[in-house]
Structure 1
């Protein structure tokens, strides 16, 4: 049962924009997920042959076809390009442009890795392919400083939406996509803004990123089967597939959205974050910190475990994560954990680091909108230790009134966020 509304300002999602592996756009993203198709393939943007893991989920992204000018293409890193293109779609979808007060409009941008590709490329130039220890920045592009500071992406987004309210960046590793949305919601609830453009972007498929994950053996070496390389909760899984992408959202104070007749996808009802203070990359098997984040998010949503209709899992396809997460669901949801459908879209779009939680938030809102639970692709041999309803292979049509979406990140971060259909009563 949902408890009594506490009278705080409520936040709803009125616009969604997506750049995801496969074709660009929210419609193409949702079609890929509900069809159970995968976008993982052999890396094409550089020669991956020296690396242990050579597969990734790449976006079929043509910046010029996406509406960017030659100047923007030259100036902006791929991460910023993704963010702006996704933001344009979200703004068009919401219809908020031109009707919002700039002073009451803000931007929050999330990213784990910032401008990785451009920094990787420019370091090779200024260091003469790594031969010079003392680099010469005179050989770098004029935009090199912008690549060092992720706030440059937030600046571009603020100019796009003409925001004169709060603007900032959240970078909490792989939970950034949830944390940035939660922070934007808090700004609306605290009456600092009525409208927030918020989301996350990462384009980190580069030699330095691949080398780093190779070193800790976190990514899959299943190079001969790239389409089925990402296998969350499957007994044969052996690591995640890198991804890239962005998802941006228009978040509004609920009464503000209703007054202008906006279409509402979902309400953001609660959020919580915790840290395990245990390991930079490791997870405890018991899942206590994620379970606590889920419990607090449900409490802030005035919901009981039985109210959750779908769980969008972190589901990275590493053994420690999948078992940790399964334990967390059992601890926080009790017996309901065995009844609620759970799935991981990383099986189809890979792990785009800070951006992926924003993409999962988009999938969660669309699951409510369309009454469909996306599947976990490549789940053929369930791990007996992951014994919940992980919706294998085929999407499931059912009414979805509420969604719990969760994330784990390096550094021990654990985040949980709850969405509900617009008509969901809190009284």
Structure 2
């Protein structure tokens, strides 16, 4: 059961501001401001207006933690406060699972510049490095920080499967609760990788949008004019709780993680087969595990990266897995508003799916003005749609051929 939500996202810090941005259809993509990106092909990103002091972090924490960890800690504190579980769970029955695609990219990028004297020295001088340099190198340090916050002495770990990390980590955490290993899991994914090395990597394979003259509409999932994704950053952390544990303490239950699955295509690091078979297989398996029929779906939160290849692949996967129901199910991509935050985006999308169940509103696909005729499903263009959402599917596709799907259902189903 999901009993707490915490979010740091472009366009707003906190779950309330995040949901307001999504349902209003506002975009948070803009020209990169965190460094001088003028030399790069793509200079667009969705940045978080994040003030660590205003978010409650101390000067010591700010110095010790990379931006990725700062995001995760702030979101975790919000999720724990929302759930009310802190202090009432057994530490040995409490765990943490955190996902990330890139880890502490910004701090590693910065510290390498310091120890190499801006790249002038091949033999770096470690005397000038931060005392926290090892923590930046090891993503497990982020999981450890979250474990100390919640006093988690149960299972603690990291999942890093590229852009599907945010679904995969939540599915793994839910399994730990379901099999009785833990009563409470703090789980989600975080990435803050808007840095020169990341932008250069995606420039090299031309995956990001070059629409620099109009950053607010740069991300256009399922649109005929799409030409790549806009990089993003952020975090969503959820409290997952065993149903009986949540019920005994009178917790508010947002939704249940009813089923999930992941597949790989064993085909290409960046390529996708046109028929969408691997993603379709993940969707079908997740639905089967959740005991949900395709016709039961009220909404699909799409991967919708805004690349030519992915959006076609995804459309075919829905048709292959859902049959005629693919045409009747509302689908939308929130990457149109908050960009693609790599490993973190799937947790942000799951959080949005949970909030769609809670509020009965489907976020729109912003910037979808000229639908691609080959992407001919109901992709909820421009404007949010009020609709009861008892069963929601969220999917992800990542470099390396990873394909993941997760099913969320209204709490009434669990009670039944």
Q: What's the TM-score once normalised by structure 1's chain length? A: 0.97
Runs of 4+ residues deviating >6 angstroms: none
Equivalent residue, structure 1, for 2:173: 184
Shift in Å at residue 117 of structure 1?
0.2
Distance in 2 of aligned mates of 1:134 and 1:213? 28
Equivalent residue, structure 2, for 1:35: 24
Per-residue CA distance 1:219-269 (angstroms, 9 max, x = gap): 000001000000000000000000000000000001111111000000000
Per-residue CA distance 1:101-120 (angstroms, 9 max, x = gap): 10100000100000000000
1:342 aligns with 2:331: yes
Distance in 1 of aligned mates of 2:271 and 2:235? 26
Per-residue CA distance 1:172-223 (angstroms, 9 max, x = gap): 0000000000010111111110000000000000000000000000000000
Distance in 1 of aligned mates of 2:172 and 2:241? 13
1:399 aligns with 2:397: no
Q: CA RMSD in A?
A: 0.8
Shift in Å at residue 303 of structure 1?
1.1
SS in structure 2 opposite 1:424?
helix
1:354 aligns with 2:364: no
Equivalent residue, structure 1, for 2:37: 48
Q: Is the 8 A contact 2:256 2:414 kept in 1?
A: no
Equivalent residue, structure 1, for 2:156: 167
Distance in 2 of aligned mates of 1:131 and 1:276? 41
Distance in 2 of aligned mates of 1:129 and 1:156? 30
What is the number of residues matched between the two proteins? 416
Equivalent residue, structure 2, for 1:323: 312
- How do 1:374-413 residues align onto structure 2 when only pairs under 5 Å count? 374-413=363-402
| Structure 1 unmatched ranges of 5 or more | 1-11
| Partner residue of 1:301 out of 290, 304, 317 | 290
Q: Is the 8 A contact 1:21 1:245 kept in 2?
A: yes
| Partner residue of 1:367 out of 342, 356, 380 | 356
Shift in Å at residue 90 of structure 1?
0.1
Distance in 2 of aligned mates of 1:284 and 1:130? 40
1:417 aligns with 2:395: no
Q: What's the TM-score once normalised by structure 2's chain length? A: 0.99
Distance in 2 of aligned mates of 1:128 and 1:85? 32
Equivalent residue, structure 1, for 2:139: 150
Distance in 1 of aligned mates of 2:272 and 2:399? 9
| Partner residue of 1:245 out of 221, 234, 239 | 234
1:62 aligns with 2:76: no
Per-residue CA distance 1:290-341 (angstroms, 9 max, x = gap): 0000000000001110011100000000010000000000000110000000
Per-residue CA distance 1:51-101 (angstroms, 9 max, x = gap): 000010000100000000000001100000000000000000000011111
Equivalent residue, structure 2, for 1:3: none
Equivalent residue, structure 2, for 1:7: none
Equivalent residue, structure 1, for 2:90: 101
| Structure 2 unmatched ranges of 5 or more | none
Distance in 2 of aligned mates of 1:425 and 1:215? 47
Q: Is the 8 A contact 1:302 1:426 kept in 2?
A: no
Distance in 2 of aligned mates of 1:136 and 1:191? 48
